[in-house]
Amino acid sequence: MIPKNHPRYNSLMQRHLIEEGIHKGITSMQGLIAQGRGETFDYLLKEKTSKYAEEAIHATAALLLLSIKPVISVNGNTTVLCSKELVELSNELKCSIEVNLFYRTKKREKLIEKEFLKFNKKILGAGKKIRLKGLTSNRGLVDVKGIYCADTVLVMLEDGDRTESLIKAGKKVIAVDLNPLSRTAQKASISITDNVLRVIPLLIKEIKKLKKKKTSELIKIVLKYNNEKNLINSINLLKKGI
């Protein structure tokens, strides 16, 4: 048991959840390595949400509210870290959640589907799929009722190749990635440089707030946001952390 007053309690708890995910067969070994990379960046960010991440979350909330068909894409890591919060987010947006795995097996898909059913959410992606043009790996397999026809896709701890092909397919991509230098962060329409565990509750709060705004105000928020500038600010913040 990790004592609650441990200075790095959240990070250690997260590591514990990923380890459990490996034992249950939900998370892949590569997911464990991704966790290690994430912890390094989070350490440099002092495990806090920066004002730049807050700006990106603000724009994300507006973009999601403007989207006709947003879809939340989940993998093994996000499932064990924050499935409950992601269900709350999907209910708030009345949108689908779809499982998308690089190391895809029927068993892992079903295990992830079961985790979401615990919160009464039937997710997409565990059944019949078709291939999204331009991506030959398993990640190119998408649900016709989900990512295939989505206009905006929220991805977390994502691979750069898929982000790029989603953008090429004409979709807006919102990425949650602690590494602002990753291809995912560099290619996404909006990149939130922060820990997914902190981001999702903040995003739900922001969506509840922005729901009261007029469409024209939401459009203004999205147009005002500059992802390139935001990434530079986040990279400079990481440098300060060193």
- By a kind-dependent CB cut-off of 5 to 8 A, residue 182 interacts, out of ligand ATP, Mg ion, none, with ligand ATP
Determine contact, residues 57/195, Cβ cutoff 8 Å: no
Report d(CA 225, CA 223) in Å as an integer. Answer: 6
- By a kind-dependent CB cut-off of 5 to 8 A, residue 157 interacts, out of ligand ATP, Mg ion, none, with ligand ATP
Strands 141-142 and 130-131: antiparallel
The dihedral over CA atoms of 181, 186, 188, 189, expressed in degrees to the nearest 10, equals 120
Q: Determine if 140 is a binding residue for ligand ATP (CB under 6 A).
A: no
Question: Could you tell me which stretch among 61-69, 127-135, 176-184, 214-222 binds ligand ATP (CB under 6 A)?
Answer: 176-184
CA 146 distance to own-chain centroid? 16
Q: Determine if 182 is a binding residue for ligand ATP (CB under 6 A).
A: yes
Q: Determine if 25 is a binding residue for ligand ATP (CB under 6 A).
A: no
Angle 209-188-185 (CA atoms, 0-180°, nearest 5)?
Answer: 100
Q: Determine if 73 is a binding residue for ligand ATP (CB under 6 A).
A: no
Pick the closer one to ligand ATP by CB: 200 or 222: 200
Determine contact, residues 134/169, Cβ cutoff 8 Å: yes
CB of 75 to Mg ion, least distance (A): 12
By the criterion CB under 6 A, which residues form the site for ligand ATP? 34-35, 37-38, 41, 157-160, 176-179, 182-184, 195-197
